[in-house]
A = this chain, B = another copy of it.
Amino acid sequence: MREAYHEQLQDLAGELATMCDMAATAMEKATRSLLDVDLGLAEEVIGDDVKVDEERARSEEHALALLALQSPVATDLRIVITTLHAAESLERMGDLAQHVAKATRRRHPQPVLPDQVRPYFAEMGRVAVHLARRAEEVIRTKDIDLARQLEDEDDAMDDLHRHLFSVLMDKEWPHGTAAAVDVTLLGRFYERFADHAVSVARRMVFVVTGKMPGSEDQH
């Protein structure tokens, strides 16, 4: 019984890692759809989002079954609860990737991004996917140092986001308001995606140490 129980806890972590991988892949493709004005790729991301939602529902069912049948306490209980919260973040990351893909689709065949800001999004996409992949590694390895590194790496996203805003706020922005609105929302989607990836990693620190690192800074 105890052995099956620890296997079930292991399975929960495996499901989280799978969701993390799905979210990373979705954001990778969504970014490419944005940069390459690729409608097919955007449709793929939009169509695939339901899979993340299903995986989340499945992992929630498993967590509930584990709570009901095994009545975990102390650390084990916190692991299960943490899994439920992390799964919520991961579903949201999937949604945010889908929002990026929907922007591609909405403007197609026009590009959403003025050339001037393309490099920002190439880089924000790279950082976002990297953070999600790192979070996946943290879930699989329970490596606390790696989890802590994620917060530093998220600073890169915040810097990019700030620079992007200074470009937008510049009185010389020549691309019109509609483009500014798109770019503002897209910047926000990437920033939130990164925040959620960091939050997933932080929760893993909590699983291992029983303590949340510092106070959570939600932007």
Contacts and interface: CB of A to CB of B under 8 A. Distances in A.
A186 to B, nearest CB: 11
A77 B88 CA distance: 18
A67 B68 contact: no
A157 interface: no
Interface stretch (A39-47, A116-124, A176-184): A176-184
A185 B81 CA distance: 32
A64 interface: yes
Contacts of A68: 73-74, 77
Nearest to A91: B218
Nearest to A216: B53
| Copies of this protein, total | 2
Contacts of A92: 218
A169 B181 CA distance: 8
A199 to B, nearest CB: 11
Given A67-B77, A85-B88, A218-B95, A165 B188 contact: no
A67 B78 CA distance: 10
A168 interface: yes
What does DSSP make chain A's interface, helix, strand, loop or mixed?
helix
A177 B169 contact: yes
A2 interface: no
Interface residues of A, number: 31
A103 interface: no
A5 interface: no
Nearest to A171: B176
A64 B81 contact: yes
A84 interface: yes
Interface in A37-95: 60, 63-64, 67-68, 71, 73-74, 77-78, 81, 84-85, 88, 92, 95
Contacts of A170: 177
Given A63-B81, A84-B85, 6 more contacts: A67-B77, A88-B88, A95-B218, A165-B181, A181-B181, A184-B184
